[in-house]
Structure 1
Amino acid sequence: MRGQLFSLMITILLLGSLLTCVFWHSLNNYHVEPQKLPPHQKNAPHPGLCKGCREVIIKVLEHYSKPWKRQEDNYQKFRSQLRSQCHGDTKAFITQGNTPVGSKIVYDGERKRTLEVTPDIFRTFIKEYPFPNKTFDACAVVGNGGILINSSCGNRIDSAQFVIRCNLPPLAGGYKEHVGIKTNLVTANPSILVGKYQSLIKYRRPFMESLHSYGNSLLLLPAFSFARNTPLSMRVVYTVEDFQSRIQPIFFNPLYLQSLGAFWRSQGLKELRLSTGIMMVSLALEHCANVHLYGFWPFSFHPHDFHTITNHYYDDKKPNKAFHAMPVEFELLMRLHSQGVLRLHLGECGAGEL
Structure 2
Amino acid sequence: MRGLLLKLLFSLMLCFFILGTILTVFIWYIFNHSDVKPHSSSNLARRTTDAGSSGMCRDCRENTIDKMVELYSHAWKKQNGNFNKFRSQLASRCHGLSKAIVTQANTPLKSKIVYDGEKRNPLQVTPKLFSTFVKEQPFENVTWKTCAVVGNGGILINSSCGEAIDSAHFVFRCNLPPLDKGYEKDVGNKTNLVTANPSILLEKFEGLMEHRAPLWRVWDFSSPIRPVFLNPEYLRNLARFWRTQGLRVTRLSTGLIMSSLALELCASVHLYGFWPYAQHPHDRQPLINHYYDNRQGKKTVHAMPAEFAHLLHLHRQGVVRVHLGQCPR
TM tier, shorter chain?
0.7 to 0.9
For 2:126, which of 106, 115, 118 is the aligned residue?
118
- The Cα of 1:29 is off from its aligned counterpart by 7.2
2:193 paired with 1:215: no
Q: How many residues align?
A: 281
What SS does the corresponding residue of 2:118 show, helix, strand or coil?
A: coil
In the aligned structure 1, how far is the partner of 2:202 from the partner of 2:51? 25
Match of 1:107 in 2: 115
- The Cα of 1:111 is off from its aligned counterpart by 2.8
In the aligned structure 2, how far is the partner of 1:317 from the partner of 1:180? 22
In the aligned structure 1, how far is the partner of 2:139 from the partner of 2:175? 21
In the aligned structure 2, how far is the partner of 1:202 from the partner of 1:250? 23
For 2:196, which of 160, 181, 188 is the aligned residue?
188
In the aligned structure 2, how far is the partner of 1:197 from the partner of 1:336? 36
In the aligned structure 2, how far is the partner of 1:28 from the partner of 1:199? 35
Q: Which runs of 5+ in 2 are unaligned?
A: 1-48
- The Cα of 1:264 is off from its aligned counterpart by 0.7
2:318 paired with 1:346: no
In the aligned structure 2, how far is the partner of 1:340 from the partner of 1:330? 15
Distance of aligned partners of 1:33 and 1:253 in 2 relative to their CA distance in 1, 3 Å threshold: closer
Q: Is the 8 A contact 1:32 1:50 kept in 2?
A: no
In the aligned structure 2, how far is the partner of 1:94 from the partner of 1:279? 15
What SS does the corresponding residue of 2:134 show, helix, strand or coil?
A: coil
Please tell me the residue identity of whatever aligns with 2:53.
H
Q: Is the 8 A contact 1:29 1:326 kept in 2?
A: no
For 1:156, which of 164, 174, 178 is the aligned residue?
164
What SS does the corresponding residue of 1:248 show, helix, strand or coil?
A: coil
Q: Is the 8 A contact 1:32 1:51 kept in 2?
A: no
In the aligned structure 1, how far is the partner of 2:274 from the partner of 2:50? 13
In the aligned structure 2, how far is the partner of 1:139 from the partner of 1:94? 22
2:94 paired with 1:86: yes
Q: Is the 8 A contact 2:149 2:259 kept in 1?
A: yes
What SS does the corresponding residue of 1:164 show, helix, strand or coil?
A: strand
For 1:30, which of 31, 52, 55 is the aligned residue?
52
Match of 2:71 in 1: 62
Q: Is the 8 A contact 2:51 2:60 kept in 1?
A: no
Q: What TM-score does the superposition give when structure 1 sets the normalisation length? A: 0.76
Distance of aligned partners of 1:162 and 1:318 in 2 relative to their CA distance in 1, 3 Å threshold: same
Q: Is the 8 A contact 1:139 1:161 kept in 2?
A: yes
Q: Is the 8 A contact 1:151 1:350 kept in 2?
A: no
For each residue in 1:219-244, what CA deviation from the matched residue of structure 2 results, as whole angstroms up to 9, or x when unmatched? xxxxxxxxxxxxxxxxxxxxxxxxxx
What SS does the corresponding residue of 1:283 show, helix, strand or coil?
A: helix
- The Cα of 1:265 is off from its aligned counterpart by 1.1
Q: What TM-score does the superposition give when structure 2 sets the normalisation length? A: 0.81
2:273 paired with 1:264: no
Q: Is the 8 A contact 2:53 2:299 kept in 1?
A: no
- The Cα of 1:211 is off from its aligned counterpart by 4.2
User: What are the within-5 Å matches in structure 2 for residues 1-354 of structure 1?
Assistant: 30-33=52-55, 48-64=57-73, 66-212=74-220, 214-216=221-223, 246-350=224-328
Please tell me the residue identity of whatever aligns with 1:297.
W
Please tell me the residue identity of whatever aligns with 2:239.
G
Higher relative contact order (CA 8 A, sep 6+): 2
For each residue in 1:4-43, what CA deviation from the matched residue of structure 2 results, as whole angstroms up to 9, or x when unmatched? xxxxxxxxxxxxxxxxxxxxxxx99703545xxxxxxxxx
In the aligned structure 2, how far is the partner of 1:28 from the partner of 1:315? 25
What SS does the corresponding residue of 2:190 show, helix, strand or coil?
A: coil
Q: Is the 8 A contact 2:65 2:277 kept in 1?
A: no
In the aligned structure 1, how far is the partner of 2:210 from the partner of 2:179? 25
In the aligned structure 1, how far is the partner of 2:179 from the partner of 2:63? 34
In the aligned structure 2, how far is the partner of 1:156 from the partner of 1:103? 43
- The Cα of 1:61 is off from its aligned counterpart by 1.9
For each residue in 1:105-156, what CA deviation from the matched residue of structure 2 results, as whole angstroms up to 9, or x when unmatched? 1113333331211001000101111121111110000000000000000111
Q: Is the 8 A contact 2:100 2:230 kept in 1?
A: yes
Please tell me the residue identity of whatever aligns with 2:108.
P
What SS does the corresponding residue of 1:195 show, helix, strand or coil?
A: helix
The higher radius of gyration belongs to 1
- The Cα of 1:198 is off from its aligned counterpart by 0.7
Which range moves more in the overlay, 125-134 or 248-257? 125-134
State, as a whole percentage, how many aligned pairs show the same letter.
55
Q: Which runs of 5+ in 1 are unaligned?
A: 1-26, 35-47, 217-245
What SS does the corresponding residue of 2:235 show, helix, strand or coil?
A: helix
In the aligned structure 2, how far is the partner of 1:196 from the partner of 1:63? 35
In the aligned structure 2, how far is the partner of 1:63 from the partner of 1:305? 15
Which protein has the bigger strand share? 1
